[in-house]
Amino acid sequence: MLKFLLMTLFMIPLVLFKKSWHITQISVYLGGFLFMVVGSLPGVLALSSYSFGCDVVSYGLILLSYWICGLMLTASLGVYKDNYSSQFFMFLVLFLLLMLILTFSTTSILFFYIYFEASLIPTLFLILGWGYQPERVQAGTYLLFYTLLASLPLLVGIFVFYEDLNTLFVFSLSDWRQLSVSLVLYLVMVMAFLVKMPMFLVHLWLPKAHVEAPVSGSMILAGVLLKLGGYGLFRVLGCVAVKNLYCSYLWVSISLVGGVLVSFICLRQSDLKSLVAYSSVAHMGLVLGGLMTMNYWGMCGAYMMMIAHGLCSSGLFSLTNMTYERFGSRSLLINKGLINLMPSMSLWWFLLSAANMAAPPTLNLLGELSLLNSLVAWSWITMTALMLVSFFSAAYTLYLYSFSQHGKLNLSGYASIGGSAREYMVLVLHWLPLNLLILKSEPGLIWL
């Protein structure tokens, strides 16, 4: 694992060179491909080292981090063309990638906490430095205070664990299962990850951050940073499993009812980015529900859904940005009749919208089926909420597609042009893994 960390670390000096944008971009993709090849070799212990390791969950999420960070650089060519502090921008993306790899690969829960928090800093800088509206300061404050306020108690919880167990090794935390965990300690350990997911009721920072962030900020937020919460729960639920049996009904009901309510909110959005951001909350609600059932299908489904949502949501945000660059607005009232202007771009709108509503053969479908399976097996009562969430997710995705592609054309749109090769490449690289991974879905379903 150390070789990939050092490789990412040594990419950072590239930003000191004036014209290093494309070299940096290629090296991030190359790192991702090397990681994919080394990780897929059978019986290779190359991904475990002194304090870093890699199991199936971290492998998929590290690969996703590489992929999304490469796509962020590809999608943000405007920063390079306008020379809008492009070197600092590259530094932030690479630093964020390094922090994410460290978060997902560390085997110490204390270091996990430190890297988990450190990933906030570059995200905040991305929002404040390259965001669009003056409200980005408020959005950054929301992001910082929501996540920090919930995760400071987690640090105290980690120290309590260390006092009782004398170890911080992630995989030995499940030894704590026999000891009695108080309700306060349970909440302290779980709450930081629920805010990061985000769970309904503590989700208000997410739409704000998304709407104000530049395309790269939205892509990394939706693609990887929301998955930190799910990954943290994967690691922590083992040690608070007994207490979680008493409290899981609360989290499952909040996330499912929240999913339905957020779907209603999506149906009345007039801002493209806001709609995609709220749909993220609805999808992560399902993931949280599956995780909290703590059964096999739920864990596998949550993992599959996290990977699928990372690719699909990131693709939709980059599509939204492409129309924003042409029209100068994200409003659905202005972005109408796009199928007349850019028919080929309309195809990508359709393909990614289909993925968003979990149509076959996307990975979203596999993840959603596993989650439905786990939640219905856990309790029949969840059936009602699941039916509504599934129906409305199709409803707001169709609303997004039909409103933006059909209707009377905005005359200012005639000044815009069709997509460039770079934009189509970004979309292809989001969509291909989303549909090809279902052909090799065993690692996602047979890993526990």
Q: Which pLDDT score, from 0 to 100, does residue 54 have?
A: 85
Q: Which of 62-76, 175-189, 327-341, 393-407 has the lowest mean pLDDT?
A: 175-189
For residue 182, the 8-state DSSP code is P
Q: Which pLDDT score, from 0 to 100, does residue 46 have?
A: 56
- pLDDT class for 217, splitting at 50, 70, 90? very high
In sequence order, the β-bridge partners of residue 52 are 106
- pLDDT class for 93, splitting at 50, 70, 90? very high
Give pTM, 2 decimals. 0.95
- pLDDT class for 48, splitting at 50, 70, 90? confident
In this prediction, residues 256-277 reach a mean pLDDT of 95
Q: CA–CA separation, 58 vs 321, rounded Å? A: 29
Q: Which pLDDT score, from 0 to 100, does residue 435 have?
A: 94
Q: Which pLDDT score, from 0 to 100, does residue 367 have?
A: 95
Q: Which pLDDT score, from 0 to 100, does residue 397 have?
A: 97
Q: Which of 13-17, 90-94, 250-254, 424-428 has the lowest mean pLDDT?
A: 13-17
- pLDDT class for 47, splitting at 50, 70, 90? low
Asked whether residue 43 carries a pLDDT value surpassing 70, the answer given is: no
Asked whether residue 129 carries a pLDDT value surpassing 70, the answer given is: yes
- Give per-residue pLDDT as tens, 140-169: 999 999 999 999 999 999 998 888 888 888
In this prediction, residues 260-268 reach a mean pLDDT of 96
- pLDDT class for 178, splitting at 50, 70, 90? low
- pLDDT class for 182, splitting at 50, 70, 90? confident
For residue 107, the 8-state DSSP code is -
Q: Which pLDDT score, from 0 to 100, does residue 263 have?
A: 97
For residue 268, the 8-state DSSP code is T
Q: Which pLDDT score, from 0 to 100, does residue 163 have?
A: 87
- pLDDT class for 280, splitting at 50, 70, 90? very high
Contacts of 152 (CB under 8 A, 6+ apart): none
Domain hosting 301: range is: 1-445
- Give per-residue pLDDT as tens, 346-398: 999 999 999 999 999 999 999 999 999 999 999 999 999 999 999 999 999 99
Structure tokens at 13: 């000096």
Q: 140, 307, 338: which is closest to 227 by C-alpha?
A: 307
Query: Could you check whether the bond before residue 361 is cis, i.e. omega within 30 degrees of 0?
Result: yes
Q: What percent of the chain has pLDDT over 70?
A: 97
Q: Which pLDDT score, from 0 to 100, does residue 174 have?
A: 72
Q: CA–CA separation, 432 vs 213, rounded Å? A: 25
Asked whether residue 45 carries a pLDDT value surpassing 60, the answer given is: no
First to last CA, the chain: 21
Q: For the beta carbon of residue 325, count every other beta carbon within 10 angstroms.
A: 12
- Give per-residue pLDDT as tens, 60-88: 999 999 999 999 999 999 999 998 899 99
| Mean residue pLDDT across the chain | 91
Q: How many domains does the chain have?
A: 1
Cβ–Cβ < 8 Å for 226, 210:
no
The larger pLDDT score, comparing residue 428 to residue 18, is at: 428
In this prediction, residues 211-233 reach a mean pLDDT of 94
